[in-house]
Amino acid sequence: MKQRFFALLVRIILPACILAGGWYGFRQLSVPIEEEVVEPPEPTKVRSRVELLELGSYQVHIETNGLVSAHNQVALSAEVTGRVVMINPEFEVGRFFNEGDVLLKIDDRDYKTLLRIAEQEVRRSEAALDLASAAKKRMEQLAAQDSASLVELEASRSMYVQAENDVEVASANLDQAQRDLERTEIVAPFSGRVVSRVIGLGELITVGMILGDVFAVDYAEVRLPVATRDLNFLRLPERESDPPLDVTLRDSINPNNEAEWSGQIVRTEGALDPNSLELFAIARIPDPFALHRDGSVLRIGQPVSATIRGGKLENVIAIPRDSVRSLNQVHLIDPATNKLRTRKLNPIWSDENYMIVRDQNINSGDYVATTMLVYAPEGAVVEIISDLETESLAGHPPVGDPTP
């Protein structure tokens, strides 16, 4: 009896337990899983240093370069033949000399002899002219008294004309002898400097022989190329009466040389260069060797860079070069809303420091971003980095936001 009761109990309790466990598992598994709420990321901040844009004027300066050259360089040559008997110590390579200095002397004894002969020939021809003049007058008096024939009169006149011609020839020979004697001294035609000397003391020189090269030192010249696109910003002198343009020269060889030389563009060449289509302007620099002033020496053949003062642009905005991005784009910031907008520039002038624009869409008082922005969406609000913050961050690497 007990066994039957126990079996019945098992048959009832076991299914009930299974049903209870299944119901419990269903309850647990049917509870909806609560989803985790993910907060959206904060938008990336746009931070930038800025510079204020203002409407005003801008002085144009044209950058170019050239080589210093002497405005007058000549080769001294002999005009007479003879032996060199004296050379001035200043007639050495690199030495300076003054206008009128005797640089070299040729043996002049033969030329002094020829001068004396020419002087005596003048005296003789003048005496012969006096006799011919007296004879002509005497013959004219006799002819007036019918005491001389017409042939005799014409002969006396012919002798007088011949005597006059002899005096002219003798005087010309005297002038030539005097010039030849003067040419035994090689005189400096201007104040200058010696480039080379190719003869020595005691050497026999002939007419036309080169003695050396010299150049003038009163001023030097520089041939400066000017691009055709820059001509609109310059008023180069075309005529002698046109005012010159100021130009400043600097050493192109040694960048550490802070010396500057002031000059003026005094003329331009009449044609464009056929290869580069550039116009060459000629600048003049007074006293390049600092003989009459204090300052550095500007040597012949020295490469120089030049800055030419051009015209002044009015009602323009100068945008710093370091704020211009690729394709001539800049990031402008509205000072009222600090919202960013991108603008493409169409400059009327540009140099290594600024782009000059005249654009109605760029207003005086706008800010331009000078920081290289990694993230710059149109209309984004920009957080301006103050000068004080810039100074405090100087020398420290940027942290936090990806925008510097």
CB burial class (10 A; 0-12, 13-18, 19+) of residue 91?
Answer: buried
The alpha carbon dihedral of 299, 303, 309, 311 has a sign of positive
Strand order in the sheet with 367-369: 50-52, 367-369, 329-333, 340-344
Q: What Rg value do the Cα atoms of the chain yield, rounded?
A: 50
Distance CA 198, CA 27 (A): 120
Distance CA 80, CA 402 (A): 85
Query: DSSP letter at 321?
Result: G
Could you give the 3-state DSSP secondary structure of residue 96? Answer: strand
Interstrand relation of 46-48 and 382-384 (parallel, antiparallel or unpaired): parallel
Entry field: residues in the chain: 404
Give the model's pLDDT for residue 103. Answer: 95
Q: Answer whether 300's CB lies under 8 Å from 220's CB.
A: yes
How many CA atoms lie less than 13 Å away from 27 in the CB half-sphere? Answer: 6
Burial code (b: 16+ CB inside 10 Å, e: under 16) for 250-264 equals bbeeeeeeeeebebb
What is the residue type of 277? L
Instruction: Please tell me the pTM assigned to this model.
Output: 0.69
Give the model's pLDDT for residue 264. Answer: 94
Our CA angle for 24, 29, 35, nearest 5°, is 145
What is the pLDDT tens value at each position of the chain, 404 positions in all? 556 666 666 667 767 777 776 666 666 666 565 666 666 655 566 788 888 999 999 999 999 999 999 999 999 999 999 999 999 999 999 999 999 999 999 999 999 999 999 999 999 998 988 888 888 788 777 777 777 677 776 878 888 888 889 999 999 999 999 999 999 999 999 999 999 999 999 999 999 999 999 999 999 999 999 998 888 888 899 888 889 999 999 999 887 888 899 999 999 998 888 888 899 999 999 999 999 888 889 999 999 999 998 889 999 999 998 888 877 888 898 888 888 888 898 999 888 889 999 988 888 889 998 888 877 788 888 888 876 555 544 444 443 343 33
Give the model's pLDDT for residue 317. Answer: 92
List, in order of start, the domains of the chain with CATH numbers: 47-53+324-393 (no CATH), 62-70+220-312 (2.40.30.170), 110-183 (1.10.287)
Distance CA 156, CA 39 (A): 137
The alpha carbon dihedral of 154, 156, 162, 164 has a sign of negative
